[in-house]
Amino acid sequence: MFSSRRSRPINQGNPKVLKARDLPSVVQYIESSACENVMLMLGAGVSTSAGIPDFRSPETGLYSNLQRLNLPHPEAVFEINFFRRNPVPFYTLAHELYPGKFRPTITHSFIRLLAEKKLLHTCFTQNIDTLERRAGVPDEKIIEAHGSFATQRCIDCQRPYDDAKMKDHIKRKAIAKCDSCQGFIKPDIVFFGEGLPSAFARAVPNLRKADLLIVIGTSLTVHPFASLTGMVDESCPRVLINMERVGDFGSRTDDVILLGKCDEIVLELCQSLDWEKDLNRLWELTKASVVTEPEEEVEESKSEELPEPKSAHPRDNLEILAAVEARLAKMSVKEGKEEGKDLEPSTDTVPSNTTASANSTTKEEAEKVAENIVDAIKGAPQGDVLKNDPATMEK
């Protein structure tokens, strides 16, 4: 893969297929018998209104916000060699972006509408979020050039991995390993250092069949995807819907550049085509694509107990105490709800390494351990009392 941001000069010649290089001329062309095979190319800008950040926008882009994961550089989260050494950053990211959390946009519903109108030939997408699928675009019409979260497999033996098990691991931010060889499991997203899907290579020649190419929400900086714009015939009108002019758009006589927010321009296009009612109907259906995970009740068990205090020193027991306090607060909330009281759950943070034991004991046992820890803290030497001092915490 490589990047390029060069743009060619605007072609000043008269259009040969369209009447003019504007939206009304695009509408007229779509309504004509000459437009039968519409091809689309999608980038991250299609999904930003769904709440998914794009990659390169300063401050708000995905790469900018990955600094908190302590990566050597932002792109490392999508590098296969880095993933082999440390899959944690990617699983953290996957937890935030996993399909089901985001609703498809108006633009995604427009793609499905093109399919229903028997106009969509192929939708090439750089996006890994599967929102095209969730909007109801037929699978056979979608080419996920950079892969997606739809499937997953072992990075070593390439054995496919179960969807439900993968979802569970990502939900818990737990690293999934192959049942066969114990290699790391990765969604079928194309990382730097990996080849593009074979389906992408097979679909590229079909661009010659395009009667209209619509490119939406992409910077056209990543190749070979960006090169697809040049693979349609010179006689094929090309429409760019984006915040800025990119690639070589404007270099052909039948290029139309519509600058602005994707959803707004798509809505205007559908209004002009008298498709607005159908578009809204399809977008309304996407509400059901958002999965709201219910809060799971942790089954209580008396077989596991909270550990006894490690020593008389308070520093050794703070995590256990925090877990106990959280557990007691949770019990109080549960009891209050059963009595019809309107109680708010505690917002205390429970350390991950004590959560299991804190959630699997009785209230009486938890209170007993809490008393033991509190007694240990009270009985600690006066000069060793732990304070909320960062310097002290490091010692």
Query: For 185-239, what is each residue's pLDDT tens digit?
Result: 999 999 987 888 999 999 999 999 999 999 999 999 988 999 999 999 999 999 9
pLDDT of residue 84: 93
Residue stretches of the annotated binding site for Zn(2+): 154, 157, 178, 181
- pTM for the structure as a whole: 0.69
Residue stretches of the annotated binding site for NAD(+): 44-48, 54-56, 126-129, 218-219, 242-244, 262
Residue stretches of the annotated binding site: 44-48, 54-56, 126-129, 154, 157, 178, 181, 218-219, 242-244, 262
H/E segment holding residue 332: helix 318-338
Query: For 238-270, what is each residue's pLDDT tens digit?
Result: 999 999 999 999 999 999 999 999 999 999 999
CA proximity to 365, closest of 285, 282, 298, 305: 305
- E strands, the chain, in order: 38-42, 120-125, 142-144, 147-154, 185-189, 212-216, 238-242, 255-259
Mean pLDDT of 160-172: 91
Q: Which residues are catalytic?
A: 146
Cα distance between residue 93 and residue 102, in whole Å? 14
277 in Cβ contact with 265 (< 8 Å): no
Query: For 86-108, what is each residue's pLDDT tens digit?
Result: 998 888 888 877 777 889 999 99
Cα distance between residue 245 and residue 240, in whole Å? 8
pLDDT of residue 308: 47
